[in-house]
Chains A and B, each alone.
Chain A
C-alpha cells in the first residue's frame, strides 16, 4: 500500500508530501504521524508541502488536525513551503489554517522547532 514516508531527525519528525494525495492517503498520514509521535517521543513535526500544487479544504483540514493531535501529544507542528499560489487560493477558499505554525522553508521551520525545545528545557 502506498504511504507517505515519515523521517526521524533527532527529536523531530519530518514529512515531505510529494504526491497529489487522495483522501484516504491523507487520512493514513494523520494516523501514521500520531503513532510515530508516540513511538519515538517526538517533540516536533515538520511538514514540507512545497511540492503540493493544490491544498483544498480536505487537505487543509488534515493539516489542522495533525497540528491539533500533535499538540495533545506534546509535539509542535510547523508547516513549511506553502507555495504563493496555494496561499492565495487557501485564503480565498476561506481556510486560514488557524492554530498551525508556518515557516518559509525547512531550515527556518527546523530552527523554529529547535528554539521552542531549547526554551522549554531552559
Chain B
C-alpha cells in the first residue's frame, strides 16, 4: 500500500467532530470520490468521531490517503483510551446503545465503509478503522 498522505487530528470537542468531517471530505475529494462516495465516508467518519468523543472520552484520528492500484482510497483510524467495549458483537448491532443515541453509529458506519474493523480492550481503549476506496 502506498501512502499518499497521512495526518492526525485530535477529537476533544464537538468542533473537532466538524473538523474531522471537513478533513474527510477534503481527502475524499483529493482521491477523486464521487459525491455519494464522499458523503458516505464523511457520514461514517462523523459517527465514529462522535463515539470517540462521547464514549471514549476523546482521542484522535489518523487520516491516510492511500493508493493500491487500481484502488485509491481514504482510511481513518480512530483511537481512544476510554473504558473500552465489553461486548463488541452487541455494540455492532443496529439499535444497541449504551448512551442516549439511536444505536446506529457503529453498524451504520460499517455499512457505509468498504473496510471496517474494531479492536477494544476493557479498561484500555478502543480503535476503530474505516476505509473507502474507488
- Shortest B60–chain A CB gap in Å is 18
- What chain B residues lie within 8 Å of A92 (beta carbons)? 40, 108, 111-112
Partner of B43, one of A21, A22, A23, A89: A89
Interface residue tally for chain B (C-beta within 8 Å) = 26
Does the CB pair A58–B50 fall under 8 Å?
A: yes
Does the CB pair B36–A88 fall under 8 Å?
A: yes
- Shortest B101–chain A CB gap in Å is 7
Interface locus among A9-17, A48-56, A69-77, A107-115: A48-56
Does the CB pair B39–A89 fall under 8 Å?
A: yes
A87 to B19, CA, bound (A): 22
- What chain A residues lie within 8 Å of B112 (beta carbons)? 89, 92-93
For the complex, would chain A's binding face be called helix, strand, loop or mixed by DSSP majority?
helix
**Given A54-B46, A94-B111, is A85 in contact with B17 using a C-beta cutoff of 8 Å?**
no
Q: Can you give 22 A-B contacts (C-beta < 8 A)? A: A20-B22, A22-B14, A22-B15, A22-B18, A53-B25, A55-B43, A56-B46, A56-B50, A57-B105, A57-B108, A58-B101, A83-B39, A85-B36, A88-B36, A89-B40, A92-B108, A92-B112, A93-B104, A93-B108, A93-B112, A94-B107, A94-B108
The 3 closest A-B pairs by CB, nearest first: A93-B108, A22-B14, A85-B39
